[in-house]
Structure 1
Amino acid sequence: MQAGAPQRRLAGNLTETFWGRAALRLVALVLFVGAWQLAGDDSIDLLFPTATRTLDAFVELVRDGRLPLGLLITGQALAVGFAIIVSIGVPTGVLVARFPLADRVVTPYFTFLVAIPIIALVPVVQALLGLTFAARVTVIVLFGISYVVINSAIAVRRVRTDLTEMARSFGAGRLAMMTEVVLPAALPGIMTGVRLALGQALIGMVVAELTIVGAGVGSLIAELQGRFKVAGVLAVAMTIVLVGLCLLSLVEMMERRVNRWSVQK
C-alpha cells in the first residue's frame, strides 16, 4: 500500500497542471467520439448519426454561414444577459449582506428563483415581451442572477471580522472598508457565484432559444428539425456544448487565479 502512494501523488500532481488536465480531457474526448461513431447509424438520415456525419453537417452549416450567424445572434443575448447578471447581482448581494432590511426584502425573491424551475416562467416572459431579444435576455437573467446574489452575500458575510476591525481602527471609512477590505476578501466567493451563474445562464440561453424562437441557433434548430436533418440538429447542439465548455473553462481559470491572489493577500 505504501509503495503505491508516490505514484498516486504523482498522478494527482499531473492532473492538477494545465497540460495534465488538457491531456485527460483529450483522452476522454477521443473515447467519447469513438463510442459515438460506433453507436451511430448512417443507413438513413432519420437515425442517430455517426460522428463523421455530424461533422459533415457541421462543416456544411459553417460553410453556408448559418451556424456562425446563429451563434453571433445567440451570443449577443448571452453576453448582455450575463453582463446584467454580474452588474446587478454582485451589488445586490453586497447590499443584502450589509443591510438587514435589504436582506429581508430581497432575499425571499431570489430564494424563490432558485427553488422553482425557471422554465415555468418562460411562457410568462414570452407573453409579456413576445418573441424579442429582450425576452431571451430576461430568461437568461432569471436563470442566473440568484446564484450571484446569494453567493456574493454569503462571501461578504464570511469576511473575517479581524480584517474589518483592523481597518476600522486605522480610520477606514465605509467606502474604503468596502473597496479595500471587504470586496477583495469576498472575491473568491463572488467568483464562485459568477461561475455557477454562467452555467445557469447557458442553460437559460438554450431554453430561451428553443422556446422563444425568434433568431439565433433556436431558429436554426427549428428549421433543421422541420426538414428532419438529425445530423444538423446534433451538430448545432454539440457546438453549443463546446462553446459552453470553453466559457466555463475560462471562468474557472479566472476563479483559480483569484483564489491564489486571495491566499497571497
Structure 2
Amino acid sequence: MTVYGYRVPMMASLLAWCLIWELVGQSGLMFLLPPLSSVVAAGIAMVQTGTWQAAALITLHSFAVGMVLAIVAGVALGVLMGRFKAVDELFSIWVNIFVSAPLSALVPVLMILFGMGETTVIVTVFLFAVWIIVLDTRAGIQHVPNSLIEMGRCYGASPFALYGKIVLLAALPEILAGIRLGLVRGVKGVVIGQLLVAIIGYGELFELYSRSFDMENFWALTIILFAAAMLMSAAIEYIEKKIDYYAGVR
C-alpha cells in the first residue's frame, strides 16, 4: 500500500488495529473487549499453565490426525477424479455439495455416530478439510499436459513412477494450494468440533472462559488459534513459492 508516495508495509494495518483495540479496551466502553495489553499478558501466563498445555496437546493431536487423513484421502480421490472421467462424474456432485454445505450442522450427527470424544473432533477436521483438497488436486491433475504422460510411457515409466515422478509433481502447485486452504478449514473444524463436544481440548477452555466471563483468556486463546492458522498457511505458501517452477515447466 502506498500513501502520499510512501510505501506502507502491510504490518502497519495490523498495528493500527491493535492500537484501536487497546484504546477501546482502555476506555472501558465494551466489557467484552479488554485492552490488548491485558490479553497479551493473560496469554503469556496461560501458555505456562498445565491446563493450556494439556488442551493444546489434545487439540494438536486431533488436528494432526484429521489433517493427515484428509490429505491422504483428498489427494488420492483428486488424482482419481482428475485422471478418470467415470470417477469424476461419480464423485464431483458430492464433493461440490460438501464444499458449499454448512458442515457445522453435521457435528451433532457425528456426535451420535462417534460419541462425545476425540473421534468426533477428528472426523470433523477431516470433513472440513478434505473436500477443498480434492477439488484443487483434481484441478491440478487435469492441467497436467498429456505430452508429459506420453513421454513417461515412451521411456518405460512404471505406473508408480509415472504418477509419483511426473503427474503429482506437475500438479504440485495446486495440491499445495489445496492443502493450505485445507489447513485453515481444518483449524475451523477442530475448534467447532471441540466447542460442540465442549469436554476436551480448546473447546473445554473456550466454554470455561466464556461461562466465567474471563475475556482476557478468551481473547488470548482466540489469538493463539488465529496465529497458529496463519503460521501454518504461511509455511505452506512458502513451500508453494519454492516449487513454482514445476508450474512453469508444465
Give the Cα separation in 2 of the matches to 1:224 and 1:45.
17
Which residue in 1 is equivalent to 2:117? 132
Which residue in 2 is equivalent to 1:60? 45
Match of residue 16, structure 2, among 31, 43, 51 = 31
Which residue in 2 is equivalent to 1:144? 129
Query: Identity rate of aligned residues, in percent?
Result: 26
The question of 1:243 aligning with 2:203 is answered no
Which residue in 2 is equivalent to 1:211? 196
Give the Cα separation in 2 of the matches to 1:197 and 1:231.
29
Which residue in 1 is equivalent to 2:60? 75
TM normalised by structure 1 equals: 0.85
Alignment of 1:102-251 (within 5 A): 102-251=87-236
- Flag structure 2 segments of 5+ consecutive residues without an equivalent: none
> Cα 1:131–1:24, aligned 2, differ >3 Å: closer, same or farther?
farther
TM normalised by structure 2 equals: 0.89
Give the Cα separation in 2 of the matches to 1:98 and 1:202.
30
- Which letter does structure 1 place at the counterpart of 2:191? V
Give the Cα separation in 1 of the matches to 2:173 and 2:220.
36
Give the Cα separation in 2 of the matches to 1:64 and 1:191.
35
Give the Cα separation in 2 of the matches to 1:104 and 1:183.
21
- SS of the equivalent of 1:86 reads helix
Which residue in 2 is equivalent to 1:20? none
Which residue in 2 is equivalent to 1:96? 81
Aligned length: 247
Is the contact between residue 169 and residue 246 of structure 2 (CA under 8 Å) also seen in structure 1? Answer: no
Give the Cα separation in 1 of the matches to 2:243 and 2:34.
42
- Flag structure 1 segments of 5+ consecutive residues without an equivalent: 12-22
Give the Cα separation in 2 of the matches to 1:109 and 1:253.
31
Give the Cα separation in 1 of the matches to 2:21 and 2:30.
16
Is the contact between residue 156 and residue 186 of structure 1 (CA under 8 Å) also seen in structure 2? Answer: yes
Give the Cα separation in 1 of the matches to 2:10 and 2:135.
31
Give the Cα separation in 1 of the matches to 2:246 and 2:142.
20
